[in-house]
Amino acid sequence: MLAAGAWPGLGRATGLPDVVAMTKPAVVAVGTYNPTGSPRFAFRGTGFAVGDGNRVVTNRHVLPGADDVGSNSRLVVALPKGAEQLPEIRNCSVIGTDPDHDLALLQVEGAALPALTLPDGALPREGLAVAMVGFPLGAGLGLSPVTHRGIIAAVTSIAMPSPTARQLDPRTLARLRQGPFQILQLDATAYPGNSGSPLVDAESGELVGVINMVLIKGTRESAISTPTGITYAVPAHYVRELMQAPR
């Protein structure tokens, strides 16, 4: 595994330009691929490599539902190859989910990707300078990772109840009884395509969280024309817990 702070040829990160250079190779686009579809690749969100480099973390809500995957479609990740080259498409499978914190863990075929460094479990401090790398506009302008920066504005509490009463199973009820969990509120501009993007320390490159949602005024489309600048991220220690969960 390649730690984000020890990238070959760069040494340790010394600021945001190094962090961006170290983070981008770990970032992938998550979607479905249909060889007979148009387009063949349907973008759903952002993900990033962790662990041994063959595992990718994204938001659970990024995963396609049964109605989104036809008989000819499969779950894939797309690896950006620059403006002049087509992305590399790799098959993947879901090996773990954390519905409580909206996380999913994928197993990706092929050679290992550079993996981001996980923290020791402590919550980041408010005011920490952070950066997110992902695909804010999806594949509309080509798959080229984009970086936005900001700060952790607050460490606050949030609950993610199920959207309908039919989904209130025993596990969900147990989680709701435990109350809300801590989430990171950011002073940073993200867009719907950033779901699943890594949030990293802008100085060290260490993973801080996973972009989960953007506060939107009005319609989803208005998030592009008039973003609020308020974004939320799930703390990175939940990624570690998901990776360590028995399966």
Same-domain status, 136 and 234: yes
The pTM of the full predicted model, rounded to 2 decimals, is 0.82
pLDDT tens figures, 106-132: 999 999 999 998 988 789 999 999 999
Q: What are the φ/ψ torsions at residue 122 (nearest 5 degrees)?
A: -75, 145
Determine, yes or no, domain membership for 26: yes
Question: Would you place residue 85 in the very low, low, confident or very high pLDDT band (cuts 50, 70, 90)?
Answer: confident
Determine, yes or no, domain membership for 167: yes
The residues near 194 (Cβ < 8 Å, ≥ 6 apart) are 46, 132, 134, 135, 136, 148, 211, 214, 231
The residue out of 61, 78, 108 marking a domain boundary is 108
CATH number, domain of 26, equals: 2.40.10.10
Same-domain status, 134 and 55: no
Determine, yes or no, domain membership for 1: no
- CA atoms within 13 Å, Cβ hemisphere of 61: 16
Residue pair 54/92 in contact (Cβ under 8 Å)? The answer is no
**Lowest mean pLDDT segment, chosen from 4-18, 34-48, 135-149:** 4-18
**Of all helices (H) and strands (E), which one includes residue 238?**
helix 237-244
Question: Would you place residue 176 in the very low, low, confident or very high pLDDT band (cuts 50, 70, 90)?
Answer: low
pLDDT tens figures, 11-46: 466 789 999 999 999 999 999 999 988 889 999 999
Looking at residue 81, the DSSP 8-state letter turns out to be: -
Determine, yes or no, domain membership for 122: no
Determine, yes or no, domain membership for 121: no
Question: Would you place residue 79 in the very low, low, confident or very high pLDDT band (cuts 50, 70, 90)?
Answer: very high
The residue out of 75, 108, 141 marking a domain boundary is 108
Same-domain status, 156 and 93: no
Determine, yes or no, domain membership for 8: no
Determine, yes or no, domain membership for 158: yes
* pLDDT greater than 80 at residue 227: no
Same-domain status, 143 and 235: yes
Looking at residue 11, the DSSP 8-state letter turns out to be: B
Can you give the pLDDT at residue 5? Answer: 40
**Of all helices (H) and strands (E), which one includes residue 23?**
helix 16-23
Same-domain status, 221 and 154: yes
As a whole number of angstroms, the distance between CA 211 and CA 79 comes to 19
Determine, yes or no, domain membership for 94: yes
Domain that holds residue 42: 16-108
The number of distinct structural domains making up the chain is: 2
Mean pLDDT over each residue of the chain, to the nearest integer: 82
Residue recorded with tokens 């989960």: 212
pLDDT tens figures, 93-109: 999 999 888 999 999 99
Question: Would you place residue 67 in the very low, low, confident or very high pLDDT band (cuts 50, 70, 90)?
Answer: low
Same-domain status, 162 and 240: yes
Higher pLDDT, 69 or 202: 202
Average pLDDT over residues 161-185: 61
The residue out of 77, 108, 139 marking a domain boundary is 108
